Structure 1
Amino acid sequence: MGSATINLPTIHLDTTLTDLYKLADPSTAHLRLGFVLCGVNSAIALTPSFPRNKKYLYQDSPFNNIPPAELKDAAASSTTTELQRSIALKYLSLIPQRDAFITGGPHTPTIFFNVSPGSALQEAHDRHEAEATIAVLSPEQRPKLVFCSGPAEIPVKELGIDRLAVKIMLDDLEKKGYPLVVNQETQWFLNSKAGLAESGLPTPRAEVVDVEGFVPPLAGGECCEVCRAEDDVVGKGGMRFVPAGCKGARGQWLEEQMKRIVEKVDARQAPFVFKTQQTFGGAGTWVVSDEEKKRELVKKLMDDETGVLRKLLSQVTAKNQQLKPGSVVLSEMVRDPVGDYGVTFLVRKGGEATFLAASEQMINEDNAWIGSTINYARQDRLKEKFEGIMRQTAEWVGKHGYIGPVGIDVLETKDIPKDELVQGNGISSADGEKTAQYIVDLNVRTSGSLALPLLKGHFTSRGMTCASSFSTTLRGSRKQFMETWREEFETGRMLIMAWYEDDIGNEEKEVESIGDVVVGGKDEKDLQDLMKRVRESTEEVTF
């Protein structure tokens, strides 16, 4: 393999997030925005300076799948565990790098949180990885990278930030009272599954099962002997659970709420979809295709050791109950879909929509999002196809005071229901044939596919009509990966939007990397061929 310098083309985005926010509300275009684009975890602190969310609960894969004993052990540890680091690399580096790539401008502060705060070597490495990613951008579109130990340490005044635009709600942002573009409770509600189910937007018919009240507090360790023992084990900052053996008021409340939810699941005829209220990275959704899958879901919900409901409902408190974080949604399944799209657009002040793109979703067998593909030549037709459903969504989120990017996941079917949708809602005839459109997920934030429309000029000017973005993991460094695909990088056919090399916890000190890449193709076959070759040499990343 050659060692000569790889000559990367300079990338110029068609527009940036900063420009889009100015378009969204011209009256505030003079204000200086800062961006907080990281993920968050409600099961475990990402670092000692980045506590888990307790108010704004998110159910991701770690929350849903990791046994309580492991979570308590990790929380009680004085050092960063392998579990914490694995999540932190994705949530504090990979995701914010990917969005920072499109924020734009040296006068736009983009906030990062260190993966290992307090370690000068690791903090320097965090900065190096992010700076190496954005170095390919034209200088006028490179954001100002600001690194902090945690959300409570953002130097808002020092940076002259007037407002923060936030991707995922963070408890500490609210505690510090930072000025925000959108109120956090409002944005959390707009992203909730129950919010979508009851919005009146064209979405599969659904039943929302709410939780009554909240788990009684463990005041002074009072409840029962099992709870007092549990309280001693958890320690400060750990994720608290109502123990399976609790005989007091807490256990009684939890059993009543779980019973109500499971009775609804048992009574529902398959197929249907079960969703928890607020999810991240494709987690928290179960497709129940038949009665066997329903039995599997009930076991997953009720299991004493890893049960989703015990973990979730144990976190419903007096401080967050108004958000209804314990609610679940049972929705009808869209049958025989003929299309699966991710539609991204800008919501301007007053609820007007500006179309950005419609990409096609890539979902793995576990129903987790792993990437998106866009065909630039079809965008005018797709804009017409989704004009109605996009306008309706923008009006709904806009009336709640939101401005900024929005992504909707839309399933399309040829079966036009007579009684499920309000006349004219979710119906398209852009292709000359009427189809029904259902919003199955609503992301009122920057979406994973948002970069694709902003890179249109980069790819089409090089004769490429298609592009795809996806996350990947591999053994090896950024340099080794780029050497492997030297021709693709030098011709602008491939670019890195996020990357992190890591050798911590690896006895052989072999570098492992996670990255987010975008690839282009002259047509769909050309693109799929390249994607297949890349995937054969790497592994996918799920969140």
Structure 2
Amino acid sequence: MAWPTFKPTLRLDFTLDSIARDHGLGELAVIALQHAPPYDTTPGIPRDRKYAVDTPLSGYKDPDESEKRQMGDQGLNAYGQSILQLTGPTRYLAFTGADSGKTYGYANPDMHHFALSQLVEKQRADIRFINADEPVVPALRASLSDQQKLYTCIAHDLQDGLPLLVENSVLWRLECKTFLHEAEGLQTPKGELLAIDTGKADAKDDVMRPGGEPVSFEEFQKRLRNWTLPVVVKLTAGISGSNFVLRTDEAREECIKAVEERLQQYRRPEHAPFTGDVLGVLIQEFKDVEESFCVNFCVPRDGDGFILGVAEQILGENCSWAGARIDYTRQDSLKQRFQPQILRLATKLRDEGFVGVAGVDIVCSPSDETQWLVDINPRVNGSLILPACQSHFTSLGYDWATITFLPFPGPARVFAQHLAELQTTRGMVLKAFSERADGNTIAMLVIGAADREDAMKAPMELFPKLAQLEAARVARDSGSS
């Protein structure tokens, strides 16, 4: 398969290992890469909601449909590919969890892992891939020096016992919003963190346990109905939990039904390997403001935290992440604007046991100096590629750049050929590329723009160009047959 690859000559302003080297994090010799689940979870792409109900379950596959994926998925997920792109020349080890192919319902997990290793090799020839069938922990330990650390970015129970940059228990406390809810001195909306009893007899027992006050489902309903609207409800049991923005009583009742359905999913025996005995839910005051930013920053071992870049969030339904765009001309002023909040946050994160790259979502209004910290992601964020590519785009005359999704109703091998034809369009940078379980393909691209209005319109230029390339291909194939 002709997979598109990242530009080998792409000029990045920083990489993960350059940050680690320059700020006392050690040599990040290992990056944990995860495979794409059978049902694509890329923002903006419809999912089979019967099974893709949250991150732990998004990879769950109906056993009756296993024949559809005999060869396994042919790609890394978008997050894994983003990590690949932001790593420097240091030798890395990529691995996936033991038995993950079987866990996710692949008919042929060995073929899946082989395909994954081939993709990693094509994207980055300097990466060694450790197959899940190998003893993961001993293999990694044998490959690491005393000065090297595993940069996991994601809590994963299979990584226990490894020399982690940040311990799993710390990552999970941050991911499930316990830290955000309990930390003092940060400008956060009023919130209430609950842990709803799922009523499961058998549950996954590991560090990935949501914090919050233990309550029954009936008590959760009572608490939610007592809140004054609008509010946002975040299901925190996962890296990309679901959000519900509630502005009306009808929306509130629909949210309660959705949570009840989630609890029913948790109780199903086939979900036992993925889920715990509680469902974390954060009820939070909704700040309906004009600006939403993702501030990417670094927490060094010593010294002040610092901002890597500030990107505007592109939000979809229920404030779900649908991309980002960046104004390179405003980076200095935006960094100065948010630096006091980031200094306080970085200090608290380091006290908590976290060092490394993270992102925080901040909402505010131009007329109001109040900056509301509404979410934190203690890992490499999807928008980090934007500040890393500043020199690349500004050298081409673009003051803005935006992340966009480009779907294609066909196989990856055809889409890859079309992307090769489009690669000079607006300084295009490939961020992620994946063939979905339904046979269609999706690419996540970064493209340049002249200004904000142009950044909003630029993605639409790609659709007719892609359609023209596909029409020409079909015509050629028809003429040769």
| TM-score, shorter chain, exceeding 0.5 | yes
User: Letter of the aligned partner of 1:260 in structure 2?
Assistant: E
The match for 1:166 among 152, 155, 158 is: 152
Amino acid at match of 2:249: E
2: CA distance, partners of 1:399 / 1:7: 37
Q: Counterpart in 2 of 1:467?
A: 401
Aligned to 1:36: 32
How far apart are the structure 1 equivalents of 2:252 and 2:245? 9
The letter for the 2-side match of 1:13 is: L
Structure 1 residue 398 corresponds to structure 2 residue 350: yes
Helix, strand or coil: the match of 1:126? Answer: helix
The separation in 2 between residues aligned to 1:40 and 1:499, in whole angstroms, is 10
Partner of 2:279: 326
Aligned to 2:456: 528
Q: Conserved in 2, the CA contact under 8 Å of 1:8 and 1:492? A: no
Shift of 1:436: 1.2
The question of 1:436 aligning with 2:436 is answered: no
List aligned pairs for 1:224-235, cutoff 5 A.
none
Please report the TM-score for the alignment, with normalisation by the length of structure 2: 0.77
Determine the C-alpha separation between the residues in 2 that align with 1:123 and 1:39. 9
Partner of residue 243, structure 1: none
Q: Report what 2:82 is aligned to.
A: 98
Q: 1:279 to 1:271 in 2, by over 3 A?
A: same
One of 210, 216, 223 as aligned partner of 1:264? 223
Q: Select 2:246's aligned residue among 288, 291, 312.
A: 288
Look up the equivalent residue of 1:19 and give its one-letter code.
S
The verdict on how the C-alpha distance between 1:394 and 1:532 changes in structure 2, with shifts beyond 3 A counting, is same
Q: Which residue of 2 aligns with 1:301?
A: 259
> Relative to structure 1, is the Cα distance of residues 121 and 190 closer, same or farther in structure 2, using a 3 angstrom cutoff?
closer
The match for 1:149 among 132, 144, 151 is: 132
In our comparison, the structure showing a higher alpha carbon Rg is 1
Equivalent-residue separation in structure 1 for 2:251 and 2:466 (angstroms): 31
| Rounded Cα–Cα distance in structure 2 between residues aligned with 1:7 and 1:261 | 46
Which among 175, 191, 198 is matched to residue 206 of structure 1? 191
What does 1:27-176 correspond to in 2, within 5 Å? 29=26, 31=27, 33-38=29-34, 77=63, 80=66, 92-111=76-95, 122-134=112-124, 144-149=127-132, 153=136, 155-160=139-144, 162-174=148-160
Counterpart amino acid of 1:461?
A: S
Q: Is the aligned partner of 1:24 residue 2:23?
A: yes
Does structure 2 conserve the Cα–Cα contact (< 8 Å) formed by 1:129 and 1:500? Answer: no
- CA separation in 2, counterparts of 1:73 and 1:389? 36
TM-score, normalisation: structure 1: 0.69
In the other structure, the counterpart of 2:479 is none
Matched to 1:344, the amino acid is N
SS in 2 for 1:398: helix
1:505-524 matches, cutoff 5 A:
512-524=440-452
Q: What letter matches 1:332 in structure 2? A: E
Whether the 8 Å contact between 2:13 and 2:388 is mirrored in structure 1 is yes
List alignment gaps of at least 5 residues for structure 1: 48-60, 135-141, 220-236, 238-253, 415-432
Could you tell me how far apart the structure 1 residues matched to 2:180 and 2:335 are? 22
1:450 aligns with one of 384, 387, 393: 384
Contact 1:341/1:411 (<8 A) preserved:
yes
Deviation at 1:260, TM superposition (A): 1.1
The answer (yes or no) to whether the contact 1:7–1:490 under 8 Å persists in 2 is: no
Matches of 2:35 and 2:379 in 1, distance apart? 12
Kindly tell me the number of residue pairs found equivalent between the two proteins.
Answer: 435
Give how far 1:111 is off: 3.4
What is the SS of the residue equivalent to 1:157?
A: helix
Cα separation, 2, equivalents of 1:261 and 1:364: 26
CA contact (8 A) 1:111 1:146 kept: yes
